[in-house]
Structures are given as structure tokens and as C-alpha cells.
Amino acid sequence: MTRIDTTQIAMSAPDLDDADVAAVVEVLRSGRLALGPQAERFEEMVAGVAGTRHAVAVSSGTAGLHLIVRSLGIGPGDEVLVPSFTFAASVNAILYEGATPVFVDIEPGTYTVDPASIEERITSRTKAVMVVDVFGHPADHDAIARASGDLPVIDDCCEALGAVYRGRPVGSMGRAGCFAFYPNKQITTGEGGMVVTDDDDVSALCRSMRNHGRSDTGAWLEHERLGFNYRMDELSAALGVAQMGRLPSLLRSRTQVADRYTERLASIPSVRTPAARADVTMSWFAYVVTLDAGLRRRAVMDALDRRGIPSRAYFPPMHLQPYIRDLLGTREGMLPVTEELAERTLALPFHGGMDRDQIDLVCEALALAVRR
């Protein structure tokens, strides 16, 4: 079995091999390219990892989050609590339904939702809480559940396939969760996502709405509700099945890269490496360090770039994005921890195919950059 080679230092890269290619080719030769057995098998495999009774394959993580929000009946006049330190999809899924995102702050050590911030921002209009297992680190789900009370919790676990919180797989907590399979994720289907839930109604609604609102038991051209074309095709699903077959190996490779980074960066006092809480198992999506307050991140990134090493400023706060400012009137000073950390976090090149020499080269370049 041959792994597809990645020789240069890339910001991210999918881990693909001959078996992945063969799985896709087999579907092409079958002529069954949509609504087939590969998607069903992929759903079974992801549900098994998530520890849920249901999984619904969709065209993207964004689509999955949108379907969850809609399945919960959230709409205009409703508020959903959501961290600002996240990718735009988390917030957009709320806006698609005309609801209002209300931003909560994060914990400085893990970048995940601060349960105390949830308690502070709940109002009579709050209809749900969305948490994000950012960078593959599970949020503090038990504390979040206590803070949320009877409100449904949506787990945006798009970055955390395979992560574990206090012995429970991420995706099994809350009313529903959603994984994503973009090429920088732990496994990839090219594009694609998966809703996971134990809630029969959420599962049925998501399954119907992803397919133009059709019923599983109804005629093909009978539509019970407004729906979308959010289906996952068989080519993507076949790639997902092949990738899921070696998920433990893929996660292990990413952990080894992260461990090597942490070991090599320990001697740089101005760089704080990511740390997982003792009660969780990370599923490494990205390797994000925090620079000392005295460093200029842009200068560090420019120095890395001159040596041919990419980096990213993860995540610019959502409440300070131009379209959110215009829409909601949000401003600086609303979320002090988010805003302070967002100026100092830096994602380094990260994927399971990185070798020791590449990691060492990145670490040496970062050490020189921060010294200057």
C-alpha cells in the first residue's frame, strides 16, 4: 500500500493511499454515484466512533450544522449562544435560519467555551447553546450541560473526530453533533460532513431535509417539508469508508507529529504549546501555539514565510468580522479572553505525513523568528 507523497512543508495535507484511490474507482465503475450503499456504510462507521444511534451523511460540516439548527425549530427572534473563537460556519448556520448568534468567551488554556460565559448570557430568548471542540480538544461538556440547563446543546465537533471526553466519544454529548471531512481534517471525503445524534426526531428531520424534504417512506416526488440538496455522493462516501478503516492509524500519526512539536518547542519560553486537559483525549486537527504578548505575530509569520514555511492566524474572532459587525453591531471589548488570545495564536504546518526533519525545520525557524 503506497502513501501519496507530500515532499514539501504544506500547511495541511490529506493522508491518501492506494486503497483510497481504489475505493473511489470502484464506485465509478459501479455506476451508482448517489444515494447508495457507500453513504450508508459510512454513516454506520461514523456512528460507531461517535457512540450514537444515528448518523446522517451530508455535503459539508456547514450543511450539517444548518440542518441541526433547523431541526430544533430555531428561527427569527431566537438566540443561540456560540463562541466567537471558531470558524464562520458555526455562526452562519445560526444566521441561515434568521436567529441571532450571541457570542460567549473561551477558556485561555484550551480555547474552548467558558461555561461561566454561557451562564452570564442566557436570556429568555436563548433557544440553544452551540459549543465547539476547537482544534480537536473537547470542550468541558459536563460543565456546559450544567450551565445550559434544559437548553439543547449542539456540538460543533467538526474538528474533533475521534476525540474523547471523560471516557465518552465526542459527538455523543448534547442533542446532536456534526463532524466535517474537508481535506485538512482527521479523515477526508474531499467535502462532506456527518450529523450524529441519539434523537430520533433530529435524525429523521436531518435525513429528510438533506434530500429536498423528501420522506424516507414517501414517493420520490413527494416533499413533506422545505429541504435542501445537502446529500453526500457515493464517491465521497467511498473515500470516507476507506479512510475510516484506518482511522486509528491516522489519529496516531497526527498525535506523533503533535508530540514531536511539543517536545521541540518546549525550549522556546516565548511560545506556549497546546495542552490537553487530563480528562480528555485530543484528536489533533491543528497545532496552534500561543505567542508571548510582547511578540508581533505578523512579524513572526513573515519571518517564517521567508524561510518557505506557511502559518495561519487561527481564529480571528467572529464577532469582529466585518459582516457580523454590520449585522449585529458587535465591537471590541465584548470578549476579552477571545480577543486577547486571537491576537497571539499561531497555527503551524500540521498533518499526519510530516516527518521529523520537517517538524524540526519548522521549530528551528520559529525559534529564530521569535528571537528576532
Tell me whether the omega of the peptide bond preceding residue 87 falls within 30 degrees of 0, making it cis.
no
The sheet that has 54-58: what strands, in order across it?
54-58, 193-197, 176-180, 153-156, 126-132, 79-83, 100-104
Q: Indicate the DSSP class of residue 181.
A: -
Helix and strand totals (H; E) in the chain = 13, 13
pLDDT of residue 8: 81
CB 236 within 8 A of CB 190: yes
CB 158 within 8 A of CB 179: yes
**Statement: residue 263 has pLDDT above 50:** yes
Q: How far apart are CA 90 and CA 364, in angstroms?
A: 35
Residues facing residue 364 across a β-bridge: none
Q: Indicate the DSSP class of residue 137.
A: P
**Statement: residue 4 has pLDDT above 50:** no
18-244 placed in CATH 3.40.50.300:
no
Please, which pLDDT band fits residue 159 given cuts at 50, 70 and 90? very high
Q: Where in the chain is the domain with CATH 3.40.640.10?
A: 18-244
The residue-averaged pLDDT of 225-244 equals 98
User: Quick one: fold of 247-371?
Assistant: Aspartate Aminotransferase, domain 1 (3.90.1150)
The residue-averaged pLDDT of 73-100 equals 98
Tens of pLDDT, residues 7-48: 489 999 999 999 999 999 999 999 999 999 999 999 999 999
CB 118 within 8 A of CB 95: no
pLDDT of residue 220: 77
220: its cell numbers: 420520490
pLDDT of residue 5: 44
The residue-averaged pLDDT of 323-327 equals 98
pLDDT of residue 127: 98
CB atoms within 10 A of CB 5: 6
Q: Indicate the DSSP class of residue 110.
A: T
**Statement: residue 3 has pLDDT above 70:** no
**Statement: residue 6 has pLDDT above 50:** no
Please, which pLDDT band fits residue 186 given cuts at 50, 70 and 90? very high
Tens of pLDDT, residues 107-143: 999 999 999 999 999 999 999 999 999 999 999 999 9
CA-closest candidate to residue 349, choices 298, 308, 296, 316: 308
101: its cell numbers: 448568534
Q: Where in the chain is the domain with CATH 3.90.1150.10?
A: 247-371
CB 50 within 8 A of CB 196: yes
Answer yes or no: pTM beyond 0.85: yes
CB atoms within 10 A of CB 94: 25
Encode burial over 295-314: b for 16+ CB neighbours within 10 A, e otherwise.
beeeebbebbeeeebbbbeb
Identity at 274, one-letter amino acid code: P
**Statement: residue 256 has pLDDT above 50:** yes
Q: Mean of the per-residue pLDDT values for the chain?
A: 96
**DSSP 3-state helix, strand, coil percentages of the chain (rounded to 5)?**
40, 15, 45
**Statement: residue 258 has pLDDT above 80:** yes
Q: Rounded to 5 degrees, what are φ and ψ at 264?
A: -75, -30
Residues facing residue 79 across a β-bridge: 100, 126
pLDDT of residue 189: 98
Please, which pLDDT band fits residue 215 given cuts at 50, 70 and 90? confident
